């Protein structure tokens, strides 16, 4: 009998039974289901299970967060259900059955922009910082900016534009690369195609409007002429050109003999794609993109702007649930290209704040419910930093009314926002830091909008929650129970489970521990040492929807300079993921459990470039090599090689402090301190 047999039986029933499961797999922390009829899943009861840390639906998959014991849970689920698990990619393919044409298009758009988001956020922060130093008149009685009073900051302002220009003006290069990467064709050809769209030989897209038609340079082919116009910051022309390149390359691969394909396929594909891009697709895409941005701009600035703002502010959070919000990235970027700024992004940032403020209301209501606060607090923090999924899926949708309160607050703030014409220079910086992307003259107005986005959801949630929540919601299930329940031996969440699991592993019960192996003594653990050499960063800097938002627990990450992951403390190897070999779970001497995870989404590499150096059940000491990984392969596959350490079960740890922003030496530098 496995540890999670009963939980697995319950979960099978709650997802709608065996006949409702089209496919199931797992990654290092989550069970991934494709359900034939998703509406049959009882999400409320699933999330109430002790083994479940949360759930969400994404790209047609119903994902249940279990933690670093997911392998044990998955094995028990497969055994109980009789359903044969499949690979993660097969689950993704099966998930398409739950998506209509529009959802598939949105998913494709999201997958194109996802690798670009870190660069867009960086560019947005840089433009926001430049706003503060070159556009805010704060010096000499409000007559000069910082750049005007300091040559150093004037030089810094010019230098930072090097990065800002690379991010936004050269955006078509990133889009073409991302499309070819997603579609599995030659990425270098995509980069070259993108470069032809922003070449210095062309008239810069930003200069087109101010250039007389007769002065626009052309390619003269005798019997016809083509305008030499660049597509800096243009989204749709780049997407159309990139997909043309993809399908041309796939077409020529099918018809060209392999013996000459290395020469013929790239030549024909690239040349024809560039011709199509500049002769047809670029001009057409520009016109379509401009038409879309014109309609949106008219809605934001026209006679019905208050209605537009209210509707957009109210529905944006539900759009996040469906994934349709990814379309706004392309519209925002087109607005910036056409009008020098976007009025859409400020409302998105306000929606983030509003959902976070609804969670803040739940924090106040559930201040005596420690179990709820473990989800509420990190979810609220992540929302205020611009990532709403943990708050919406983990808190607001769970109770229902906080989600509606957040939507209402977002609508109110959006109305104020469009009324005052708040405009952003860039996108990517959401939540409270979103004010950095606002044009300087609108920063005070946006500050007022932020107050509305905080106050309205907070007050509404507190009032409604005072009436709707039950006693167990306010104080937690344990405190709401009769005293005899605890005395009957019902285990509490967290420490009890971790200690029990530790004892089982140390004794060799179900852990894979070999005879004669040393048992790990039970004692206090004061700290964790660096698990490899490199710069230590906070989880927030990972920009990952699970790790960054504290769903799995607190921790840190290291940008590695070495390629061998070491144990940060004396421990027992509890979990190894044999098919992907990119992560492992350890139990420390105090019963706490930690997860060590190499890279983000590296499960997709299916173990290529990863080698386990230990076995399940093995006792390891601080500094023992655990995993060897190939950093170059990870980067070539398009993933970050950051190595994450998460404390998934605290056991008797009362306080944790992670040391970030430093350069760490493997097995020497202390990166976490426990009390």
pLDDT of residue 437: 84
Q: What is the CA radius of gyration of the chain?
A: 27
Indicate left, alpha or beta for 544 from its phi (over 0: left) and psi (-120 to 50: alpha).
beta
Computed from CA positions of residues 658, 601, 102, 170, in that sequence, does the dihedral angle turn out positive or negative? positive
**Around Cβ 5, how many Cβ atoms within 10 Å?**
14
pLDDT of residue 243: 94
DSSP labels for 85-143? P--HHHHHHHHGGG--HHHHHHHHHHHHHGGGHHHHHHHHHHHHHHHHHHT---BTTTT
| Beta pairing partners, 65 | 30, 54
DSSP labels for 160-227? HHHHHHHHHTTHHHHHHHHHHHHHTS-HHHHHHHHHHHS-TTSBPGGGSTTS-GGGS-EEE-SS-EEE
pLDDT of residue 506: 35
Place of tokens 């990517």: 428
Give yes or no on whether 5-99 and 497-674 have one common fold: no
Q: What is the pTM of this model?
A: 0.54
CATH topology of domain 497-674: Glucose Permease (Domain IIA) (2.70.70)
How many residues are given for the chain?
Answer: 675
Half-sphere exposure of 415 (CA within 13 A, CB side): 12
Residues of the chain with pLDDT under 70: 1, 27-29, 58-60, 67-68, 84-108, 110, 321-327, 389, 428, 470-521, 544-545, 549
User: How far apart, in whole angstroms, are the C-alpha atoms of residue 26 and residue 182?
Assistant: 22
Q: Is 417 a catalytic residue?
A: no
Contact between residue 86 and residue 23 where contact means Cβ atoms under 8 Å apart: yes
Contact between residue 605 and residue 550 where contact means Cβ atoms under 8 Å apart: no
User: How far apart, in whole angstroms, are the C-alpha atoms of residue 215 and residue 587?
Assistant: 71
Buried b / exposed e over 463-500, threshold 16 CB at 10 Å, is ebbeeebeeebbbbbeeeeeeeeeeeeeeebbbebbbe
pLDDT of residue 112: 78
What's 144's DSSP letter?
B
User: How far apart, in whole angstroms, are the C-alpha atoms of residue 529 and residue 624?
Assistant: 11
Q: Distances in Å between the alpha carbon of 645 and those of 540, 569, 582, 658?
A: 13, 12, 13, 10
pLDDT of residue 594: 92
Given 27, 147, 176, 584, the catalytic residue: 27
Contact between residue 66 and residue 31 where contact means Cβ atoms under 8 Å apart: yes
Q: Residue 184's closest CA among 264, 235, 251, 250?
A: 250
Q: Distances in Å between the alpha carbon of 562 and those of 116, 432, 612?
A: 26, 36, 16
pLDDT of residue 540: 82
pLDDT of residue 501: 33
pLDDT of residue 98: 52
Helix (H) or strand (E) holding 514: none
What's 424's DSSP letter?
B
Per-domain boundaries in the chain: 5-99, 176-292, 305-474, 497-674
pLDDT of residue 482: 41
CATH topology of domain 5-99: Gyrase A; domain 2 (3.30.1360)
Q: Residue 164's closest CA among 119, 123, 116?
A: 123
User: How far apart, in whole angstroms, are the C-alpha atoms of residue 347 and residue 26?
Assistant: 36
């Amino acid at each position: 009998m496995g540890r999670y047999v009963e939980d697995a039986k319950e979960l099978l029933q709650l997802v709608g039974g065996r006949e409702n499961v089209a496919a199931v797999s797992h990654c290092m922390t989550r069970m991934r289901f494709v359900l034939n009829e998703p509406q049959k899943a009882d999400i409320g009861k699933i999330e109430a299970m002790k083994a479940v840390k949360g759930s969400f639906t994404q790209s047609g998959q119903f994902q249940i967060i279990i933690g670093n014991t997911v392998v044990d849970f998955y094995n028990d689920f497969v055994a109980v259900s009789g359903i044969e698990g499949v690979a993660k990619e097969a689950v993704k393919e099966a998930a398409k059955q739950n998506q209509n044409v529009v959802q598939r298009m949105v998913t494709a758009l999201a997958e194109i922009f996802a690798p670009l988001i870190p660069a867009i956020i960086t560019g947005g922060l840089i433009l926001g910082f430049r706003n503060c130093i070159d556009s805010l008149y704060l010096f000499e009685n409000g007559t000069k900016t910082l750049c005007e009073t300091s040559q150093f900051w004037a030089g810094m302002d010019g230098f930072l534009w090097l990065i800002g220009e690379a991010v936004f003006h050269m955006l078509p290069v990133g889009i073409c690369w991302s499309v070819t990467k997603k579609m599995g064709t030659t990425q270098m050809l995509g980069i070259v195609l993108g470069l032809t769209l922003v070449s210095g030989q062309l008239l810069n897209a930003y200069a087109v409007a101010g250039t007389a038609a007769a002065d626009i340079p052309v390619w003269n082919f005798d019997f016809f002429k083509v305008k030499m116009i660049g597509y800096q910051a243009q989204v749709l022309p780049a997407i159309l050109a990139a997909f043309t390149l993809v399908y041309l390359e796939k077409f020529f691969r099918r018809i060209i003999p392999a013996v000459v394909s290395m020469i013929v396929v790239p030549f024909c594909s690239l040349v024809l794609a560039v011709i199509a891009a500049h002769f047809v697709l670029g001009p057409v895409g520009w016109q379509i993109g401009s038409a879309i941005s014109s309609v949106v701009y008219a809605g934001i600035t026209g006679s019905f702007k208050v209605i537009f703002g209210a509707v957009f502010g109210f529905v944006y959070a539900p759009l996040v649930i469906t994934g349709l919000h990814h379309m706004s990235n392309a519209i925002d970027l087109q607005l910036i290209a056409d009008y020098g700024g976007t009025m859409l992004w400020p409302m998105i940032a306000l929606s983030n704040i509003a959902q976070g403020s609804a969670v803040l209301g739940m924090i106040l209501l559930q201040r005596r419910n420690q179990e709820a606060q473990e989800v509420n607090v990190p979810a609220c923090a992540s929302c205020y930093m611009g990532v709403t999924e943990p708050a919406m899926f983990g808190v607001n949708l769970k109770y229902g009314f906080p989600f509606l309160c957040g939507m209402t607050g977002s609508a109110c703030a959006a109305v104020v926002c469009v009324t005052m014409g708040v405009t952003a220079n860039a996108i990517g910086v959401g939540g409270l830091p979103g004010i950095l992307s606002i044009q300087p003259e609108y920063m005070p107005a946006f500050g007022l909008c932020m107050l509305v986005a905080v106050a309205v959801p907070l007050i509404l949630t507190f009032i409604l929650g005072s009436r709707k929540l039950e006693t167990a919601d306010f104080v937690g299930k344990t405190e709401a129970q009769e005293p005899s329940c605890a005395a009957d031996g019902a285990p509490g969440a967290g420490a009890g489970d971790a200690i029990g699991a530790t004892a089982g592993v140390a004794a060799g019960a179900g852990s894979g521990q070999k005879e004669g192996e040393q048992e790990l003594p039970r004692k206090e653990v004061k700290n964790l040492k660096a698990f490899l050499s490199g710069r230590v960063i906070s989880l927030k800097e990972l920009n990952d929807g699970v790790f960054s938002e504290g769903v799995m627990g607190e921790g840190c990450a290291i940008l590695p300079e070495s390629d061998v992951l070491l144990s940060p403390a004396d421990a027992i190897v509890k979990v190894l993921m044999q098919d992907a070999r990119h992560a492992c779970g350890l139990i420390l001497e105090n019963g706490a459990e930690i997860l060590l995870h190499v890279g983000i989404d590296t499960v997709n590499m299916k173990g290529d470039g990863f080698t386990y150096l230990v076995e399940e059940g093995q006792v390891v000491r601080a500094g023992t090599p655990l995993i060897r990984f190939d950093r170059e392969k990870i980067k070539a596959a398009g993933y970050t090689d950051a190595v994450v350490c998460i404390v998934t079960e605290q056991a008797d740890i009362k306080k944790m402090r992670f040391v970030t922003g430093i350069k760490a030496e493997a097995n020497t530098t202390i990166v976490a301190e426990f009390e």
